[in-house]
């Protein structure tokens, strides 16, 4: 009986772990299975910015719920949350117009934001170039985490709440029985659960190849890098810049967005490589800079290659230096991340035999949206209500 659970979650990234968190909070007995010794995917390969401000109206609500969840957990257990806010910096009149419009939308949605003049931006952000910035829009509620620390600490916290975690368990089969689902791993471990939620990215192809083949999942490859620790330098919040304003979904809801996008040069390098420039200071004082977006169908992920494209990195650094004069741009680490997303939906969800739920393809919304989305999804799957 000790191997029977109310819920088995397959996949130990943010999306799977937050499903486990909400199930535990509802008093359910939960097991989490992760194929590696610790998560290796998109959850640990991103900036660690939790920015509901960049999301469309639907996902901003999930993101705002996520903010509350992160902060609540942080008040009980250190998962590396820092509430330092986020700022979008406009570089021209078009981007300034979009900031003005988004600020008005935020006001209507009761999501706090504050416009900053050019002078206020220059005073607050050391090294910000005066020939770049025209205006800023600051979001005080937003947070950052250290992604390579956060997920492990969150799982440590959930163990204290009763979660059972099994690392190095690659699930190879899920069998739906009358009242249970049996989950089998490569080392002959068998667990049984009333419900199974599969949150292992595009790896679900190994369990359900036909469902995977029918899906419209694509994979995005993102390149980013980390400077050496900056001497005597403090970046007071996450920084998102003009190319972010032109890319993020929240701005697509602004009245001027379509007309501004229609005038863009679609042959530019930032379009070719999906580049927008972000800055985030890590806990050790280094600055993480990125990123890029190259796409391929999930069934042909090998087209993205295993190498870092140094032309992309050079372009990112070239553009970053137009925005900030940092004490040093010496790079100590470079890496890429992969995440899956749907072409036709904001997340991929399929239910098999009533009790097996595939939830993946959350795209770049994972760190920001997973906690809030998982809360609603657990309530839906188990027909529960919030207290």
CA distance 31 to 20: 8
Give pTM, 2 decimals.
0.96
CA distance 254 to 259: 10
Give the pLDDT score at 387: 58
Tens of pLDDT, residues 205-216: 889 999 999 999
Evaluate the CA torsion angle 362, 365, 366, 369 in order and state its sign. Answer: negative
Residue corresponding to tokens 């004490």: 327
The token duo for 111 is 């999501």
Residue among 294, 321, 290 nearest 307 (CA): 294
How confident is residue 251, by pLDDT bands cut at 50, 70 and 90?
very high
The percent of residues in the chain predicted with pLDDT above 70, rounded, is 99
Q: Residues near 376 by Cβ (< 8 Å), separated by ≥ 6?
A: 62
b/e per residue 220-239 (b: at least 16 CB within 10 A):
bbbbbbbbbbbeebebebbb
185 neighbors 170 (Cβ within 8 angstroms)? yes
Tens of pLDDT, residues 13-31: 999 999 999 999 999 999 9
The residue-averaged pLDDT of 347-373 equals: 96
Give the pLDDT score at 204: 87
Give the pLDDT score at 1: 42
Task: Please give the full DSSP string across 15-80, using - where no structure is assigned.
Answer: HHHHHHHHHHHTT--EEEE-SSSS--SGGGSS--EE-GGGS-HHHHHHHHHHHHHHHHHHTTS---
CA distances to 27, 74, 230, 258 from 378, rounded to whole Å, are 12, 22, 42, 36
Residue among 292, 359, 356 nearest 319 (CA): 292
pLDDT over 70 (residue 349): yes
The percent of residues in the chain predicted with pLDDT above 90, rounded, is 94
Tens of pLDDT, residues 210-240: 999 999 999 999 999 999 999 999 999 999 9
Round the average pLDDT of the chain to a whole number and report it: 95
Residue corresponding to tokens 């919030």: 386
The residue-averaged pLDDT of 1-17 equals: 91
Tens of pLDDT, residues 309-339: 999 999 999 999 999 999 999 999 999 999 9
The values of phi and psi at residue 233, to 5°, are -140, 135
How confident is residue 127, by pLDDT bands cut at 50, 70 and 90?
very high
Give the pLDDT score at 385: 77
The residue-averaged pLDDT of 1-10 equals: 87
pLDDT over 70 (residue 150): yes
Residue among 345, 383, 382, 338 nearest 9 (CA): 382
Give the pLDDT score at 2: 61
């Amino acid at each position: 009986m000790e191997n029977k659970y109310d819920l088995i979650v397959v996949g130990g990234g943010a999306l799977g772990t937050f499903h486990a968190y909400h199930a535990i909070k509802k008093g359910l007995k939960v097991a989490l299975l992760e194929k590696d010794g610790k998560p290796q995917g998109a959850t640990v390969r991103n900036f660690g910015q939790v920015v509901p401000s960049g999301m469309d109206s639907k996902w901003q609500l999930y993101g705002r719920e996520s903010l509350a969840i992160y902060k609540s957990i942080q008040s009980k257990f250190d998962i590396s949350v820092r509430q330092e806010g986020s700022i979008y910096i406009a570089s021209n009149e078009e981007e300034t117009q979009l900031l003005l419009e988004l600020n008005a939308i935020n006001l209507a949605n009761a999501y706090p934001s504050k416009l900053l003049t050019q002078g206020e931006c220059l005073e607050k952000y050391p090294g910000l170039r005066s020939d770049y910035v025209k205006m800023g829009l600051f979001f005080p509620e937003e947070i950052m985490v250290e992604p390579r620390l956060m997920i492990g600490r969150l799982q440590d916290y959930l163990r204290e709440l009763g979660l059972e975690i099994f690392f190095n368990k690659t699930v190879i089969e899920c069998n739906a029985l009358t009242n249970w689902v049996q989950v089998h791993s490569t080392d002959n471990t068998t667990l049984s659960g009333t419900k199974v939620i599969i949150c292992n990215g595009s790896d679900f192809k190994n369990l359900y190849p036909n469902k995977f083949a029918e899906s419209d999942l694509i994979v995005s490859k993102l390149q980013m890098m980390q400077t050496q620790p900056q001497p005597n330098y403090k970046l007071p919040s996450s920084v998102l810049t003009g190319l972010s304003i032109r890319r993020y979904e929240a701005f697509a809801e602004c009245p001027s967005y379509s007309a501004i996008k229609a005038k863009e040069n679609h042959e530019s390098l930032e379009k070719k490589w999906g580049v927008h420039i972000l800055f985030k200071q890590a806990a050790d004082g280094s600055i993480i800079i990125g990123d890029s977006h190259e796409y391929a169908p999930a069934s042909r992920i090998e087209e993205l290659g295993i190498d870092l494209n140094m032309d992309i990195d050079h372009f990112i650094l070239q553009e970053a230096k137009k925005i900030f004069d940092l004490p040093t741009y010496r790079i100590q680490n470079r890496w890429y991340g992969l995440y899956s997303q749907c072409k036709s939906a904001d997340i991929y969800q399929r239910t098999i035999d009533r009790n097996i739920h595939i939830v993946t393809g959350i795209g770049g919304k994972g760190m920001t949206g997973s906690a809030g989305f998982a809360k609603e999804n657990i309530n839906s799957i188990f027909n529960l209500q919030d207290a």
